[in-house]
Structure 1
Amino acid sequence: MTTLLLHLADFNERRWADGYAAALPGHKVVTRADQYDPAEVDYIFIWKPKADAFDGLTNLKAILSLGAGVDAVLRHPNLPANVPVVRFMDRSLTQQMCDYILSGVLAHHRLDTRFARDKAAKRWSQLYPAPAWNTTVGVMGLGMIGSEAIRLLGAIGFKTRGWARSKKEIEGTPTFAGPEEFDAFLAETDILVNVLPLTPETHGILNYDTVSKLRRGGLDGYGPALINCGRGGHQREADLIKALTDGTLGSASLDVFETEPLPQESPLWELDNVLFTPHIAGASTEKTGVAFFSHVILDHEAGKPLPNVVDRSRGY
């Protein structure tokens, strides 16, 4: 009998277990140590693995990660060396992330934080934002989410460009690759969107030096802007606070933070040019997560290859 272990910090494991039990008849779904012999576990479904997450799991066939980002899994000190890690990625998550990106791009393009300041000051000051084709959105990370965001942004009139670690081709969009082309990518970008995976190379990439290289004078003189819905480790918050205060950045949308929940003493709470959300840009639900990974397990048991296997050397 195939055994699936659920190890889900911050989630109701019982509800997920019930969902998997219904989707995987004939399989054993467990959540507590007294329910199973660790050596019998074939798959572990995890989120934010604790120190003992992999103890005794000597016969794992795959590690199934609820998150699209797997940095917390890959840095676990006891991660089994030769077990494939499968990350979650489906249409629902991609659409949610693109919804967040499009709403942020439109908010910054339409100068929402500028008009919010006017409202707070009871100041009637008319300014008509330029059409979308005057604004260039640069997307960092050209996987499923980044590529779809570029397609959707182009469809509503924005100019787009993309940057990734290695060269990617996207029809109708200039793309850049590697550190040698990073500055050229930034130089013509008005709104910078980050959906990169978090790796040692991308840690802290959203810093003062990076945002200072964005195009000046765009967004009717109120730009540039930053949208980070990647990982909190991508940003150096002290640098962003400085940039948002001294005008290097006109505004930002931040969904992820170096420390979560964001500490009460963080100056980000007080900045009126930051659109703030508590890491909710995209997430799997029990319905979508169970549907995706139950198919992964059934297909794998039938001899089919695992999808979305992480390349540990690249970090995604």
Structure 2
Amino acid sequence: MSGDALVFYSSVDNAQAWRSALIAELPDLDVRIEPDVGNPADIRYALCWTPPAGFFARFPNLQLVVNLGAGVDSLMQRDDLVPVKFARLNDPGMEAMMASYVIFAVTRYARDIPAFERATRRGEWHYIHPRPLFEIKVGVLGLGELGAAAAKALAAMGYAVWGWSRSPKEIPGVTARTGREGLERVLAESDIVVCLVPLTPQTHHLLGAAELALMPRGAKLVNVSRGALVDEAALVEALRSGHLAEATLDVFETEPLPKEHPLWSLDNVLITPHVASITVPELAARDVAESIRRVRQGLPPLHEVDPRRGY
């Protein structure tokens, strides 16, 4: 309807699929896809993934911004947003995709697959006796919706799972810790560390040279949250020295990862292009529609973000 429209922007998502999914959930919603936004004054809601600088400044009546993903750090740093309600997406499809990626990355290391991949390239029959999963300690940093789902799935498979988060959490099969001491213990006790912490000013370079040095020699790192959580120069050094044996990285401080970046040259690094989890329109549109209904009634949206915390 005129005067109650949503603008959609994403350079990687299927805009028409999102339009269809949103209208199926909320038939009266006027969905406009950038750049065809019509009268900017009509826009009340925005569903976006990393829009360009100045994008939001055109919409004087904006009330709700929903981020097309779980991490909202890019929205917190903008100067083109008036005070609005922020929400992030969280849907079963996103959780399942993230858990599947984490299970793949952790199990690839638990079953020594990189060693077999290298042996295959050498044409060598290289036997390594498998370790039972309960002997393999996995630390999951960040126990929000995505982190909790991944930790729970790993525990259900039989891994020994530690978790770390800002606030105390109770997850079946997971030994959860908090605080600086808790972080140091999880790093020191884990064979494999999975990073799913939201990026905030407090977590920028959460894993620097000192933190990476706490991990046991030969440990592995999986980062599926944000690249800036890890000091990449310190990570490269830890991987080159052999202190860290392997890393699976889906996120980077600069994306796409520059061609000259030293991570490309390391054969103990698996690089994927920020694909660990994506939003599924048919599932996530339900949450977006419900958030819009709530905002229309003067209520907070689902999965509201606290700008002071950054998540």
What TM-score, normalized to structure 2?
0.92
Whether 1:250 and 2:245 are equivalent positions in the alignment is yes
Give yes or no for contact 1:4–1:45 (8 Å, CA) kept in 2.
Answer: yes
Partner of 2:64: 62
Give yes or no for contact 1:166–1:177 (8 Å, CA) kept in 2.
Answer: yes
Partner of 1:274: 269
RMSD between aligned alpha carbons? Answer: 1.9
Give yes or no for contact 1:44–1:62 (8 Å, CA) kept in 2.
Answer: yes
Partner of 1:220: none
Partner of 1:98: 99
Q: CA deviation at 1:190?
A: 0.8
Matched residue of 1:288: which SS?
Answer: helix
Partner of 1:219: none
Give yes or no for contact 1:41–1:60 (8 Å, CA) kept in 2.
Answer: yes
The letter of the residue matching 1:306 is P
What TM-score, normalized to structure 1?
0.91
Partner of 1:4: 6
Partner of 1:308: 303
Question: Hey, what's the Cα distance between the residues in 2 that align with 1:33 and 1:128?
Answer: 57
Matched residue of 1:72: which SS?
Answer: helix
Give yes or no for contact 2:156–2:173 (8 Å, CA) kept in 1.
Answer: no
Matched residue of 1:148: which SS?
Answer: helix
Q: CA deviation at 1:226?
A: 0.4
Unaligned runs of 5+ in 1: 217-222
Q: CA deviation at 1:304?
A: 5.2
Q: CA deviation at 1:45?
A: 1.1
**Equivalent residue runs for 1:76-115 within 5 Å:** 76-81=78-83, 83-115=84-116
Give yes or no for contact 2:8–2:46 (8 Å, CA) kept in 1.
Answer: yes
More deviation, 161-170/128-137: 161-170
Distance 1:304 1:103, change over 3 A: same
Give yes or no for contact 1:3–1:43 (8 Å, CA) kept in 2.
Answer: yes
Question: Hey, what's the Cα distance between the residues in 2 that align with 1:152 and 1:24?
Answer: 33
More deviation, 39-48/195-204: 39-48
**Equivalent residue runs for 1:135-146 within 5 Å:** 135-146=136-147
Give yes or no for contact 2:112–2:128 (8 Å, CA) kept in 1.
Answer: no
Whether 1:239 and 2:234 are equivalent positions in the alignment is yes
Partner of 2:283: 288
Alpha-carbon displacement from aligned partner over 1:6-58 (angstroms, at most 9, x marks no partner) = 22233443443344344432222223566433222211111102122212422
Q: Point out 4+ residue stretches in structure 1 off by more than 6 angstroms.
A: none
Alpha-carbon displacement from aligned partner over 1:247-293 (angstroms, at most 9, x marks no partner) = 11011111111111111112222222112211100001333343431
**Equivalent residue runs for 1:17-166 within 5 Å:** 17-32=19-34, 35-81=37-83, 83-166=84-167
Matched residue of 1:55: which SS?
Answer: helix
Identical residues among aligned pairs (%):
38
Q: CA deviation at 1:300?
A: 3.8
Partner of 2:190: 189
Matched residue of 2:57: which SS?
Answer: coil
Unaligned runs of 5+ in 2: none
Question: Hey, what's the Cα distance between the residues in 2 that align with 1:33 and 1:191?
Answer: 44
Give yes or no for contact 1:133–1:157 (8 Å, CA) kept in 2.
Answer: yes
Give yes or no for contact 1:38–1:55 (8 Å, CA) kept in 2.
Answer: no
Partner of 1:298: 293
Question: Hey, what's the Cα distance between the residues in 2 that align with 1:145 and 1:11?
Answer: 20
Question: Hey, what's the Cα distance between the residues in 2 that align with 1:35 and 1:21?
Answer: 16
Question: Hey, what's the Cα distance between the residues in 2 that align with 1:87 and 1:48?
Answer: 13
Number of aligned residues:
309
Alpha-carbon displacement from aligned partner over 1:201-228 (angstroms, at most 9, x marks no partner) = 1111233322221134xxxxxx310000
